[in-house]
Structure 1
Amino acid sequence: MKIQRYVYQTSKGGKTYCPLEQNARIIRGATPRFAKQISHKYSNMNAPSVCEDLNENHHRKIAHSYLQDVSDWVGSIAQAKEEKWEYQTPQIDEAITSIVISLDGAYVLMREDGYREVMVGNISLYDVRGGRQHTIYIGEAPEYGKGTFFQRFEKKIASIKR
């Protein structure tokens, strides 16, 4: 389906502005639904498999670079939103008498950087009988210094203490 749209540009040239794309939340040329499909498929398959699946099953031929670009953009949107989102701990009827905090790292092979450490942690809430009532999981992609991970983890621990 084709849709006519207006594109605006200053008399000096340069970057164009398309109100339809802005209001439709187009992500790197993809509709939100297509960006969601791409991201979901890419989280479960490698790039060549996603491109083949889209071509064979949806008659959408895309380049690996486009797939990676849209997925990176969706990831950056989620990451920006995550900083503002606060995970809501569910209402627990049992009295919490113990909190277990665990922290670990695992080395994963990054294509260009070699092995890098991915950080993971969890906070588990237990009742008086030792029954686990709830667990919160936190993870972070490899980063130098692990500052972002520890900042998020400490923030969540402080929140649970409150």
Structure 2
Amino acid sequence: MRGTRLFRVPLGLLAVVLMTAACGNSNQTAQQSPPSTPAGTSMAPTLEAVAFGTKVDIASSDGTAAYTIDNLQPVPPDAQIVPAKGAMYAVDVTIVAKSGTPTYNGFYLVARAADGSNIAPAVGAVRPGITSGQLTQGQRVAGHVAYDVPPGQTITAVQFRDPKGKVLAVWGSG
């Protein structure tokens, strides 16, 4: 019995020494994650905006489509399917598949406010709306994407973002 206790003490000390060594400074610097970007802002470089109404070809892994964003206008309350908390605005969107089978999604079109914040699309808030789908070469879809603009804000641009949030095109009033 006494031999067992003597064996446990050195084993316990060895465990403490090993744990201390593992937790101690090994002269390696820890990798610190970059600070997160606050909601509504982007650290990506900004693209030069084209005028509303300009056709822009956007390529993805599944194909290329020509996007035209135009006619940023207020939506009257009687035309809103979902009532606005602020002021409802909408743009006309036309998408034409040029090659492959490109995927489209109304959530890829994010408005940019004058203060630099982003305004998410209110997909389904007006008809006919751009929702999501896939087009084959030569197919076309047209509709609206709406934005519920907070009081005191104005839309200065509409950005096309890929599914990962990278801005690929920007339309603005110049």
Settle same-fold status: TM greater than 0.5.
no
What is the TM-score of this pair, normalised by structure 1? 0.27
What is the TM-score of this pair, normalised by structure 2? 0.26
In our comparison, the structure showing a higher alpha carbon Rg is 2
Larger strand percent: 2
